[in-house]
Amino acid sequence: MLTELRTKVGKWIIAGVVLIISMGVFTPIAYADPSLGSKVFNANCAACHIGGGNVVQAQKTLKLEALQKYGMDSIDAIVAQVTGGKNAMPAFKGKLKADQITDVAEYVLAQANNGWKKG
């Protein structure tokens, strides 16, 4: 009787552990990842635009004032420039998918509005 109870409790503990582990593994797949744009940015843009700056052409930063000054403060404008490139900035057409370009444009605008604070 007691052994039977122990086995039952043991089974529930194992089931619980398996459930917790699988939740951890499957969470990123089950839910949309809000940090998608940030991942694209860090992998493709940060080399030149670290912290929202511009290491190649100093005045063309990704800060809100610069984006407004150069008419780049919209999703459409950023998507167009990332897709086709401009001067020293390479085109990302073929390298990034259209939805990745939209994600990164949304991220850039959100960060610009947020003053490029971490997080």
Contact predicate 75/94, CB 8 Å? no
Enumerate residues 43-82 that contact ligand HEC by CB under 6 A: 44-45, 47-49, 54, 56-57, 60-62, 66-67, 70, 72, 78, 81-82
Indicate the residue among 25 and 114 with the shorter CB distance to ligand HEC.
114
Give the residue among 99, 64, 101 at the shortest CA–CA distance from 84.
101
Residue type, 60: K
What φ, ψ does residue 72 adopt, rounded to 5°?
-110, 15
Contacts with ligand HEC, residue ranges (CB under 6 A): 44-45, 47-49, 54, 56-57, 60-62, 66-67, 70, 72, 78, 81-82, 86-90, 92, 104, 108
